[in-house]
Amino acid sequence: MNKNTEKELIKNNILGKELFSSEDIRKRVSDLGRDITADYKNKDLLLISVLRGGVIFLSDLIKQIDLPLSIDFISISKYGIDDTSTGVVRITKDLDESIEGKDVLIVEDIIDTGLTISYLLRNLRSRLPKSIELCTLLDRDIRRISDIHIRYIGFKIGEKYIVGYGLDYKQKFRNISSVYELKLDTVKKDVESLKSSSNV
């Protein structure tokens, strides 16, 4: 998405404050890549992206890691009343390769309550990796419920609803290059307006 489109979304009161610019993200991802390179030298590094939001972060991150590595993908569905629910979690797309004996780094776009990632950690640890760590672009630790350790963190984030750089609202806005606050009330009104028109 180009900057003119982003400006239009801001003008229409859909996007709010730019929280992390594309340049902020680029610099931080470069720093994370350098740290991971130093920590995983001479190791069998496998990065696992949690679909779908983590893909953009992963694609930029691996370019900054100066090591041989491999990647794989996993997808999880949550079932519950809201984001803090402990409802059923299930894997909808599993890994393609075995992780036994490998040094695994899970790459996420955002971690908040930690409930889903805790489930994923338990599942993957049962597959006997040599090591397993977490890397997230955004850490919303003010909502943390599960006791998890995140080794690599891009930025800390508050309660605001955010979109961009892989983060979505109903599968939209993932291709915005920066991370913005979303004017959720405006978006919801637009959605309701469309529903009303379709029912006329």
Q: What is the pLDDT of residues 2-33, one digit of tens each?
A: 777 888 888 888 899 999 999 999 999 999 99
Q: Which of 103, 109, 112, 139 is catalytic?
A: 112
Verify whether residue 31 is a known catalytic residue: no
pLDDT at 40: 98
**pLDDT at 190 (0 to 100):** 58
Read off the pLDDT of residues 36-85 as tens digits, 9 standing for 90 and up.
999 999 999 999 999 988 999 999 999 999 999 999 999 988 765 444 44
Structural domain containing residue 161: 3-198
Report yes or no: 93 and 51 within 8 Å, Cβ to Cβ.
yes
- Residue-wise pLDDT tens digits, 99-154: 999 999 999 999 999 999 999 999 999 999 999 999 999 999 998 998 999 999 99
DSSP 106-151: EEEEEESS-HHHHHHHHHHHTT--SEEEEEEEEE-GGG--S----S
* CA-wise closest residue to 49 among 98, 93, 19, 79: 93
Q: How far is CA 82 from CA 21, 25, 62, in A?
A: 29, 29, 33
Q: What is the CATH number of the domain that holds 126?
A: 3.40.50.2020
How many domains does the structure of the chain reveal? Answer: 1
Query: How far is it, in rounded angstroms, from Cα 167 to Cα 145?
Result: 21
Please write the tens of the pLDDT for every residue from 88-101.
678 999 999 999 99
Q: How far apart are CA 142 and CA 163, in angstroms?
A: 18
Report which of residues 186 and 197 the model is more confident about. Answer: 186
Token digits of residue 145: 């419920």
Q: Count how many residues are written for the chain.
A: 200
Confidence of residue 200 (pLDDT cuts 50, 70, 90): very low
Q: How far apart are the first and last CA of the chain?
A: 33
Sheet containing 162-163: give its strands across: 15-20, 179-182, 162-163
| pLDDT bucket at 194, cuts 50 / 70 / 90 | very low
